[in-house]
Structures are given as structure tokens and as C-alpha cells.
Amino acid sequence: MAQNRYEYIYTYSVEFGARMITIDGKQIKLQIWDTAGQESFRSITRSYYRGAAGALLVYDITRRDTFNHLTTWLEDARQHSNSNMVIMLIGNKSDLESRREVKKEEGEAFAREHGLIFMETSAKTASNVEEAFINTAKEIYEKIQEGVFDINNEANGIKIGPQHAATNATHAGNQGGQQAGGGCC
């Protein structure tokens, strides 16, 4: 029996991680909180938004329902976060073009309409995954440089260590709502 070569593992709990990246010669630590967009984690997700400087709202390009739920997740993010939070919209599973249900142009239009950054990725092949985190972190860093984020107020989720900057990035997931957030030492 032939096995589907595209098997994805779904997250069914809250997972945490951290990632260091360099922007303008400065080390930036992103703490990632991933709730996979499960409805059962919605109240937890809302609390993560409060301390986040950035969010990645992710939908599955092969599942129209995940795209259709973006408005709800975006409203939640905006209602429970800092008004300056950077939000990137990500269409995931770009490696499954033959199973696509959401056109790239639809994602781009949604992002434009709501003032979001947009890109498509594939977690399976790692296409654009690194770029999504880097681009979000760059936008946050630019806001820090412009004075939009008060780095002396830890409530906005940004902490500056002695030799490097740190930011939060909230990651929204497979079903349009995974979270990631962060801080540093």
C-alpha cells in the first residue's frame, strides 16, 4: 500500500522554544510559544498576545477553513495585544501546490487589507521558514529603533540584555492561530 509522502505532525499542546538570530550585528532572541490554533487553547493564546511584540498568523493553503478563521484570530490578536505588534500572515504548506485550496493572491489581498506582512512557507521543506522569523524580527527591531516600542517597559515583551537586543514573536499556527512570544536575558 502506498503511503502519503506528505505526512504532517500537528501540535496538540502548547510548545515552547527559543531562537537566536542576528540583525544589524545584534543578537536577537525570539521566544516561541506555539499553541497550534486549537480552540481549547484560545484563552491561553490571548494571554500570550499581551506580552508579544510580534505574531505569525499561519493558515494551511490546502485547507480553506484555516484561511476562513483568520479574521477571528486577527481580531483576537489585535484586541489582546499592543497596538504596535508586528503581524505576519503566513500561508503554510506551499510544497503541496497540487492540493492548494487558497490562492496566493487571496493571502496577499487579506494581508494588504489588514496591514500585515505576507509570505508563503513550507514547514516540510523549510522553504521561507527562516525568512518569516527574520522578517518579523526585523520589523520589530525597526519599531524599536523608531521608538515605537518602549524598551524600558517589559510589559511590551521586549527586554534588552547587556550586549544584545531581544524581542518577542508570536507564532500562529496550522489552523490560523499558533502563537510564539519571547524575551531575553
| DSSP secondary structure string for all residues of 105-128 | HHHHHHHHHHT-EEEE-BTTTTBT
Whether 182 is covered by a domain: the verdict is no
CATH number at residue 137: 3.40.50.300
Whether 178 is covered by a domain: the verdict is no
Return the higher-pLDDT residue of 63 and 2: 63
Give φ, ψ of 12 to 5 degrees. -120, 15
Whether 106 is covered by a domain: the verdict is yes
Checking if the pLDDT of 176 tops 50, the result is no
Domain count of the chain? 1
Whether 127 is covered by a domain: the verdict is yes
Q: How confident is the model over 133-156, as pLDDT tens digits?
A: 999 999 988 988 888 877 666 555
Dist CA 170 CA 53 (whole Å): 7
In the prediction, which pLDDT does 76 show? 86
Whether 145 is covered by a domain: the verdict is yes
- Measuring CA to CA, which residue among 121, 25, 108 is closest to residue 70? 108
Whether 11 is covered by a domain: the verdict is no
DSSP element (H, E) containing 50: helix 42-50
Pairing of strands 54-60, 170-171: parallel
Checking if the pLDDT of 49 tops 80, the result is no
Whether 185 is covered by a domain: the verdict is no
The boundaries of the domain holding residue 63 are 17-171
